[in-house]
Chains A and B, each alone.
Chain A
Amino acid sequence: MIEFRGVTKQFPDGTVAVEGVDIVIPPHKTTVLVGSSGSGKTTLLRMINRMVDPTAGQVLIDGTDVATVEPVALRRGIGYVMQNSGLLPHRKVVDNVATVPLLRGTSKREARAHALELLDTVGLDRSLAEKYPAQLSGGQQQRVGVARGLAVDPNILLMDEPFGAVDPIVRAELQQELLRLQEELGKTVVFVTHDIDEAFLLGDQVVIMQQGGRISQAASPVEILANPADDFVADFVGARRGKRALHVTEVDGQRLVVDADGRPAGVLAS
């Protein structure tokens, strides 16, 4: 379990990126931080592995204040996946996946063998192992990034817009893959995105952030749609418009569901 208690981050230049955040991130579930650009999602995420230290408040992992944990050791125990994969361009795919085990002192042979298994796990062909990241497609690179994040079998996996830079088709594929993996592995995933559809698809808990790093609502997708905390949330999730403002209409005795623009979304099953 990860817990934020009254967490504020003000950068030296005066920017308040996160203000007074209290949230509980439950274990073995996916929590998605969603909000527009600059709302403090990355800052919040990075306070978990001490890439950023809060200026007030505490971040606790299983009851331990992370401020008391040595940052390098802390990070080696937490998976991290970022946009553009963040792979090391000068290391082969297999060595990229093995990065953290090697840092932790696992033998090279063992680390590489395990890395190959991880390529299977994330659905990559082992023939890619000896290539360099630049020789892979964007989607393949992201998968390698996920494999690297999983390499030390961490309890916590932090993902910062991991699918933000790939085309929509590949993104959909990677999202399904993540759902499948999560079903299998049950990690505590904290996932950052600015795409509300992605948030609703992946999140057990969705945290909606607004400018200034405040949390508007943290709840399940169902709860958010049923009871948006305020107008900002309702507007942000588009509850009153487009493809989420559905209503039922009858055509030739069939009950159809149509969106706000009158486009059919489906048939109401009886």
Chain B
Amino acid sequence: MNWIWSNLDRVGELMLVHLALSVPAIILSFVVSVPIGWLAHRYRWASGVLLSLCALLYAIPSLALLIALPVFTGQRATSPVNLVVALTLYGIAVIVRTAADAFDAVERDVLQSATAVGYSTAGRFWGVHLPLAGPVLLSGLRVVIVSTVSLATVGAVTGVQSLGSLFTDGLQRGIQAEIIAGILATIVLAVVLDGLTVAVGRMVMPWSRPGMEAARSSSASPVEQADAA
């Protein structure tokens, strides 16, 4: 444990580096997945193809991907760009199905009534369909956050600095505390990012608070309440 206290600076620095790798990948995969998910929701024929492609993506071994990517990106093998691209691809693989589900899950009645009162096609997407898909999209985003933060450590193997460097370094020099510090810091980072996301989600979607479900069931008709009891 002494190692941790005397190397707090180093851990903090790597946390920031780790953050700089994960956050762009998380945002990119979310931004790319939402339209893909929408296409999969909208076009039946596209749905099978897109979802299978994304599942395949996830099956590529991460190390192999990291080694192969420089060929496509034209960057040095140790460049962080490769890692961000790889993380983005995995992120997409993780979230696309959830994104499609998020759009599927919005009640048809609500969409139809939006059309009936005079929403245009685009207005309905931005004003109704997308916001109502929000809670499920958020749950997908949370999974991506945790998986990306954790996966980013693998970059250390190909020479990209991150909290994973604490694993490789600790292993080489036989410092167990360093490895433990790496694991703890990764978990803390994931938990903090997740917590922040949940807080922001509550703020922009106050209508999706868990308490709202309780409100809905307590306002159900007496018959339903009797059934539930």
Q: Using a CB–CB distance below 8 Å, which chain A residues touch chain B? A: 46, 49, 51, 72-73, 75-76, 80, 82-91, 99-100, 103-104, 132, 134-138, 140, 148, 158, 166-167, 170
Contacts and interface: CB of A to CB of B under 8 A. Distances in A.
A137 B225 CA distance: 12
B218 to A, nearest CB: 9
25 contacts: A49-B116, A51-B112, A51-B116, A72-B120, A80-B117, A82-B113, A84-B109, A86-B114, A87-B113, A88-B128, A88-B132, A89-B110, A89-B132, A90-B205, A100-B117, A100-B118, A132-B212, A134-B213, A134-B216, A134-B219, A135-B215, A135-B216, A136-B219, A137-B221, A140-B219
B223 interface: yes
B222 interface: yes
Contacts of B110: 86-89
A134 B131 contact: no
Given A89-B207, A90-B205, A90-B207, A82 B116 contact: yes
B215 A86 contact: no
Given A89-B110, A89-B207, A138 B118 contact: no
A138 B221 contact: yes
Contacts of B120: 72
Contact of A75 (B118, B128, B220): B118
Contact of B222 (A51, A132, A167): A167
Contacts of A135: 212, 215-216, 219
Residue of B110, B117, B128, B212 with most partner-chain A CB within 10 A: B117
B220 A138 contact: yes
B158 interface: no
B123 interface: yes
B116 A80 contact: yes
A132 B207 contact: yes
Interface residues of B, number: 28
Contact of B113 (A80, A90, A136): A80
Given A90-B207, A132-B207, A167 B223 contact: yes
Interface in B79-131: 109-110, 112-120, 123, 128, 131
Contacts, number: 83
A103 B119 CA distance: 7
Contact of A167 (B118, B123, B132, B221): B221
A51 B216 CA distance: 29
A204 to B, nearest CB: 24
A201 B207 CA distance: 37
Contacts of B109: 82-84, 86
A191 B208 CA distance: 33
Which of A82, A88, A158, A170 gathers most chain B CB within 10 Å? A88
Contacts of A83: 109
A75 B221 contact: no
Counting from the closest, the 9 A-B pairs by CB-CB distance are A86-B113, A76-B118, A75-B118, A80-B116, A134-B216, A135-B215, A137-B219, A90-B207, A132-B207
Interface in B174-229: 205, 207-208, 212-213, 215-216, 219-223
Contacts of A148: 117
A148 B119 CA distance: 14
Contacts of A170: 221
B115 A51 contact: yes
Contacts of A100: 117-118
A75 B115 contact: yes
A98 B222 CA distance: 30
Counting chain A CB atoms within 10 Å of each CB, the highest count among B132, B216, B219 belongs to: B219
A75 B110 CA distance: 15
Nearest to A140: B219
A167 B220 CA distance: 10
Interface in B154-181: none
A87 B117 CA distance: 10
A154 to B, nearest CB: 10
Nearest to B217: A134
A82 B221 CA distance: 18
Greatest chain A CB density within 10 A among B114, B205, B221 is at B221
A103 B120 CA distance: 9
A148 B116 CA distance: 12
Nearest to A72: B120
Nearest to A158: B116
Given A86-B110, A90-B132, A134 B117 contact: no
A99 B116 CA distance: 12
Interface string B134-146: 1000000000000
